[in-house]
Homo-oligomer: A and B are copies of this chain.
Amino acid sequence: MEEIDRRIVTLLAKDGRMSFTDLAKETGLSVSAVHQRVRRLERRGVVRGYSALVDYDEIGLPLTAFVSIKPIDPAAPDDAPERLSHLDAIESCHSVAGEESYILKVRVASPLDLEELLQQIRASANVSTRTTVVLSTPFDYRPPRIRTDEDAGDAAR
């Protein structure tokens, strides 16, 4: 991906509703050229979709927690993600290196709902859980800084 595509993705990550007209102004391309590039980025999966960022307090899900899970039976096949995906309180599921096998991020309305969710997680995936409650969120969902080719050198320096 080269410079202009990077710029487009950066802009759309910051403002997912930016118009093609504005993207064209920012990139110096014509509207149609930008249009083609955005569609291509979507098709290639560089841009996976668009989302409104929501205030979780406002929508009645003020309690966030990280839940690390570990299989009860380490010999059993690991299909935790499929077993957990029906629980829509789970926002994300990452397989991780370390003592536990997955880290989940969950959003619930109350401590009681968290308790119920943890029971569902344990029952659904046959795992033990370790929960870290979020107290506040100084920042979240910051858009990525998209690497330029020069950045590639940074790590080597």
A interface, CB within 8 angstroms of B = 1, 6, 9, 12-17, 44-56, 58-61, 64, 66, 81, 85, 88-98, 102-103, 107, 109-110, 112-113, 116, 132-147, 151-152, 154-156
Main SS at interface, chain A: mixed
Residue of B nearest to A137 (CB): B94
Copies in the complex: 2
Complex contact A51–B91 (CB within 8 A): no
Quick one: given A50-B17, A52-B13, are A58 and B81 in contact (CB under 8 Å)? Answer: no
**Chain B residues, Cβ within 8 Å of A135:** 94-97
Complex contact A113–B51 (CB within 8 A): no
**Chain B residues, Cβ within 8 Å of A137:** 92-95
